[in-house]
Amino acid sequence: MPVDSAGNNLSTANYLKITSLPNKITEWIGTSDPTDYYTCSLSGRSSFNLALNELSANADVQLLDKNGAVVTGSYSDGRNSESISTTLETGSYYIRVYQVGGANTSYKLSVSGNEAPQLLQFGTDKSSYQVGETVKLANATVFDGNGVSDLAQVDFRLQKDGGSWDIISNVNKFSGDSNSNRASFNYSLSNLAAGKYQLWAKAYDKSGATSNAYQTSFSVSVNEAPQSLQFNTDKSSYQVGETVKLTNTTVFDGNGISDLAQVEFRLQKDGGSWDIISNVDKFSTQGSDNRNASFNYAISGLTNGKYQLWARAYDKVGATSNTWQTSFNILQPTPVVADGGDWFEQNIKDTGIRAATRLRFADQVLDRNDIISILREVKDNSVVDATEVKDLRTLVSNASYLKIPESVRVLANKVVNGDVANQKYQSNTLGNLDTGSSDVQLENLISKWFYGGDRPTTPYTYQYASGSLFQNGISYQDIKQGVINDCFFLAGLSQTAFRSPSTIENMFIDNGDNTFTVRFWKNGVADYVTVDRYLPTTDTGYLAYANKGNYYKNSTNELWVTLAEKAYAQLNESGWIYQDNTNSYKGIGHGGYMSDAFAQITGRNVSSFNVLDFNSIVNAFNSGQLIGLATLETGVASNIVAAHGYTVVGYNSSTQKFTLFNPWGIDNGSSKPGIIELAWNEIASNFSYWDSTKTI
């Protein structure tokens, strides 16, 4: 018998080095030595190959783990060869060759291994794509302890929307990095249809050993072109040297504002050719919906003339929005001549008004304080004469030249040219300014329009409210209806705050004297009223109307909602908001239509009394429109308010449920929640119609 060099148990097992080249041993087993043991170790996940050949009698072989438990084995009959081929993880192993049937036998043992690839990983360069975009892998790497040259391929599979796994193209080109055993690779997919995808992969080396499996997910959506592009200029007329600034700039992209590439602008002067001017490529999210974008834009250095500004938005795949344009004028200032024959000398006849206006215009603008001062100059003789009335009207009609801000021009126009609301002041007869008007009448007109002194009538007590106009941003959840039935108006505020908080912000001008000028829109033309900080309170000092339940002295009060409501009550007296035309809170509490509120708050075109239709409402919501739903007068669910306006603040395309906001507010102390999620069948059975703004 030859000498036995193998171990007879685990502790004496003979060590074999595993390499890609076979390690060959010739040995024997028999009655006196029925079992041989060998040991080996793997530094990484590896393929493992064993062959037991040239047997003279029956013998079997087993692969054991480090604890001696059988991993696998080969058990052929008689003198047939035995073999094991498998993939093993990092660790120590034993090989057991043992006698079967009692006969002695010699054998040849051949063992080899190849370290399998491992640490396969990758990501996609984005989590979501649009149809037509190429999906590219990022940070794609795999490790092979035998070197990059040992890698054969990375096998890929693709699954769409939870369906079957499709075989797609593989990767077979690799680049080594600073670690020669770590490889990187490139991979991309194109021409994918819309859907949710899972990308799976596994790496193979040249011996067929495999790595870990790895997968990542991404989505492909149909590209939505930008839409609802709109803007205004901050004034309709400018002087040479002034900067033209855009306001109320908005554009909607259903794929999110990150999909927007630019807004392209063209400028036309005096009906001439359209000139290419600078574009906008930076956008900010409006409110909580990242599909609504705003942007800043200004033009300077323009000469006098009549201008048209045209624009169109593009997304990153080149889809375009509606076109939008607006007009403005650039005026050449009238030069001042040395002999004093300036504009004021030529146009203002009353010496007192002329001197006051010329003095106030020294800085080339007549602001709110300037206009108020000039109006009060007229009170010098206790009675307003015909020349003074004419001069004041001349000033207002030349607001562009005198650079009177639009809000100041509108208010001054109501003072000097009249308004339906001038019939009363603090419930007493007032009247429009005219020849022979008293200084008291003029002062009351100033107070009414510039200081909010004609507060809406109410059975509650007015007290000075502490707090700030805005606190911690603008949100539809700031809305909380009080004791009057003005849900239609508060619904309009809530939808505007949800869709376009900048519109709410731009409604208000803080005059710096505890008054606020508030803007509304009459048939698309801006109108203004002024309110002070005095608000109706209960006997215990809590606000009675919007912001109901807030203590009037609380420094954390957010006042924009209740000030807007107060301004709306004052505006009612001007006779165009479809209420009872009185300056009272009761006057706006008879109910109304949300579409009217949408138009009056935003200046946008609206659609009213629309028949309930699922697709129409979803499309309107997805396009960024303001949406209000009116409940039935009777027969509604117990958690819904009858004869009431709700606004849509969310839609889940997966569940097809709508999230609605009740203007009663979040913490309204009732069984009617402030926010409610409803399926379409619940909307159809509880609501009667819907109002919205129109897609441009």
User: For position 177, what pLDDT does the model report?
Assistant: 67
Helix 386-397 / helix 351-360 crossing angle, nearest 10 deg: 30
**Mean per-residue pLDDT, 226-250:** 89
Torsion of CA 566, 570, 571, 572, to 10 degrees: 100
Whether the Cβ atoms of residue 40 and residue 15 lie closer than 8 Å to each other: yes
User: For position 339, what pLDDT does the model report?
Assistant: 47
**Mean per-residue pLDDT, 338-345:** 68
Residue with tokens 């984005």: 126
3-state secondary structure of 89: coil
Say which of 114, 557, 662, 686 is annotated catalytic.
662
- The more confident residue out of 529 and 90 is 529
- The more confident residue out of 254 and 570 is 570
User: For position 334, what pLDDT does the model report?
Assistant: 52
Six-digit token pair at 298? 């200004």
Q: How confident is the model at residue 222 (pLDDT cuts 50, 70, 90)?
A: confident
Q: What is the DSSP string of 365-427?
A: ---HHHHHHHHHHGGGGSB--HHHHHHHHHHHHTTTTTT--HHHHHHHHHHHT--GGGGEETT
Other CB atoms within a 10 A radius of the CB of residue 621 amount to: 19
Q: What percent of the chain has pLDDT over 70?
A: 97
Whether the Cβ atoms of residue 138 and residue 151 lie closer than 8 Å to each other: no
Q: Cα(496)–Cα(625) distance, rounded to whole angstroms?
A: 9
Other CB atoms within a 10 A radius of the CB of residue 349 amount to: 14
Query: 251-287: buried (b, 16+ CB within 10 Å) or exposed (e) per residue?
Result: bbbbbbbebbbbbbbbbbbeeeeeeeeeebeebeebb
Give the domains, in start order, of the chain with CATH numbers: 10-115 (2.60.120.380), 118-221 (2.60.40.1930), 231-331 (2.60.40.1930), 343-450 (no CATH), 493-602 (no CATH), 606-693 (3.90.70.10)
The overall average pLDDT reported for the chain is 91
Burial label, 210 (beta-carbon count in 10 A; 0-12, 13-18, 19+): middle
Q: Cα(414)–Cα(442) distance, rounded to whole angstroms?
A: 11
User: For position 337, what pLDDT does the model report?
Assistant: 44
CA neighbor of 260 nearest in space, from 278, 282, 289 = 282
3-state secondary structure of 359: helix
Report the amino acid identity of residue 359. Answer: L
**Mean per-residue pLDDT, 316-324:** 87
Sequence-distant (6+) residues with CB within 8 A of 106 are: 2, 26, 27, 28, 54, 55, 56
User: For position 300, what pLDDT does the model report?
Assistant: 92
User: For position 620, what pLDDT does the model report?
Assistant: 95
Six-digit token pair at 446? 């100033």
Phi, psi (degrees; rounded to nearest 5) at 405:
-55, 150
Given phi > 0 = left and psi -120 to 50 = alpha, else beta, which region is 228? left
* Gap between the terminal Cα atoms of the chain: 99
User: For position 4, what pLDDT does the model report?
Assistant: 66
644 is catalytic: yes
487 is catalytic: yes
Say which of 487, 550, 583, 686 is annotated catalytic.
487
- Tens-digit pLDDT profile for residues 651-673: 999 999 999 999 999 988 888 99
Q: Cα(140)–Cα(121) distance, rounded to whole angstroms?
A: 6
pLDDT at 92 over 60: yes
User: For position 19, what pLDDT does the model report?
Assistant: 80
Q: How confident is the model at residue 333 (pLDDT cuts 50, 70, 90)?
A: low
pLDDT at 155 over 90: yes
CA neighbor of 510 nearest in space, from 483, 531, 535 = 531
3-state secondary structure of 201: strand
- Tens-digit pLDDT profile for residues 386-408: 999 999 999 999 999 999 999 99
pLDDT at 85 over 60: yes
pLDDT at 338 over 60: no
Alpha-carbon distances of 257 from 252, 265, 292, rounded to whole Å: 8, 19, 7
Q: Cα(377)–Cα(381) distance, rounded to whole angstroms?
A: 9
Whether the Cβ atoms of residue 561 and residue 486 lie closer than 8 Å to each other: no
Q: Within the chain, what is the greatest distance between any pair of CA atoms?
A: 141
Q: Cα(452)–Cα(211) distance, rounded to whole angstroms?
A: 76
40 is catalytic: no
User: For position 3, what pLDDT does the model report?
Assistant: 56
3-state secondary structure of 67: coil
- Tens-digit pLDDT profile for residues 585-604: 999 998 899 999 999 999 99
Given phi > 0 = left and psi -120 to 50 = alpha, else beta, which region is 198? beta
- Tens-digit pLDDT profile for residues 354-393: 988 988 888 889 999 999 989 988 876 789 999 999 999 9
**Mean per-residue pLDDT, 304-321:** 90
Q: Cα(253)–Cα(660) distance, rounded to whole angstroms?
A: 22
- Tens-digit pLDDT profile for residues 622-647: 999 999 999 999 999 999 999 999 99
pLDDT at 340 over 50: no
Say which of 40, 547, 644, 686 is annotated catalytic.
644
Q: Which of 99-113, 168-182, 297-311 has the lowest mean pLDDT?
A: 168-182
Given phi > 0 = left and psi -120 to 50 = alpha, else beta, which region is 382? left
- Tens-digit pLDDT profile for residues 42-78: 877 788 899 999 999 999 999 999 999 999 999 999 9
pLDDT at 267 over 90: yes
pLDDT at 580 over 90: yes
Other CB atoms within a 10 A radius of the CB of residue 25 amount to: 17
The 3-state secondary structure of 211-225, one letter per residue: EEEEEEEEEEECCCC
User: For position 140, what pLDDT does the model report?
Assistant: 94
Q: What is the DSSP string of 267-286?
A: EEETT-PEEE---B---EE-
Helix 386-397 / helix 406-416 crossing angle, nearest 10 deg: 160
